[in-house]
Amino acid sequence: MQWLLAKAGRISVAQAITLSGALTQVYDELSSKPYFQRDSRPAANLFLCDAGLGGLARWLRAAGHQALWRADIDDDELLREAREKGATILTTDSGLLERRLVRDGIIPALWLPPTLKIRAQLALVFREFVLKAGEPRCMSCGGELVRGDKEALRERIPPRTYRWLDEYFVCRTCGKLFWRGTHWERIARQLRNVSK
């Protein structure tokens, strides 16, 4: 870890770029080396994000992937839950990688440089697990979005939105209401850029 940070620090100074950008460069350089590449990373159907990766969990959900996150989860609980649910851990905590269950490959995990912004974190996860954006899930809880009847939802829809939009979705788990407005389109555009 100290070697990575030192190398990134030198690149940051030499190229006048952020430490985050330099860490990404170091990671990209290492990941292209044959000895660094894994023959096959296990397919990830469920991600469990550590306490510091709530934003990443929301974006993974928006991209159609199952991502669990709790702000108050500690390392022991994170490991227990990941093993119980067969989840892949996403973490910025290098100490977690030293835990026997992760170190021995019993629980799959990916370390993300803590200096990366959410979009860079998302791009890294997409690249490492060869993910594509799919049908969005609820960004709040990760539940499946199902089409809702406009008239049945009328009381919950803002009046101006009701006048110009006919398609609405409701989270099957938490009941939150969604529609394809400008915010949805902005998210979809960013996800298309990440999946390229």
pLDDT tens digit sequence for 126-180 = 988 988 888 899 999 999 999 999 999 999 999 999 998 999 999 999 999 999 8
State the average pLDDT over residues 29-38: 58
For residue 122, the SS3 value is helix
| Best CA proximity match to 91, nearest among 133, 130, 136, 54 | 54
Give the span between the Cα atoms of 8 and 23, in whole angstroms. 5
- What are the sequence ranges of the domains in the chain? 2-31, 46-129
Residue 33 has pLDDT above 50, yes or no: yes
- The CATH superfamily label for domain 46-129 reads Response regulator (3.40.50.2300)
From its phi and psi, is residue 16 left (phi > 0), alpha (psi between -120 and 50) or beta? left
Which of 43-47, 74-78, 192-196 is most confident? 74-78
| pLDDT per residue as tens digits for the range 115-130 | 888 988 998 999 889 8
- For residues 71-83, b (16+ Cβ closer than 10 Å) or e, as one string? eebebeebbebbe
pLDDT of 35: 44
| Best CA proximity match to 121, nearest among 194, 183, 51 | 194
What type of residue is 174?
C
C-beta atoms surrounding 193 within 10 Å: 11
Mean pLDDT of the chain: 86
- Sheet arrangement for strand 66-69: 66-69, 46-49, 88-91, 109-111
With 0-12 / 13-18 / 19 or more C-beta atoms within 10 angstroms meaning exposed / middle / buried, residue 144 is middle
Residue 22 has pLDDT above 90, yes or no: no
Place of tokens 């959900």: 61
C-beta atoms surrounding 151 within 10 Å: 8
Residue 37 has pLDDT above 80, yes or no: no
Helices (H) and strands (E) in the chain, counts: 8, 7
- Taking each helix axis from N to C end, the angle separating 118-129 and 54-62, rounded to the nearest 10 degrees, works out to 60
pLDDT of 20: 75
What type of residue is 25?
Q
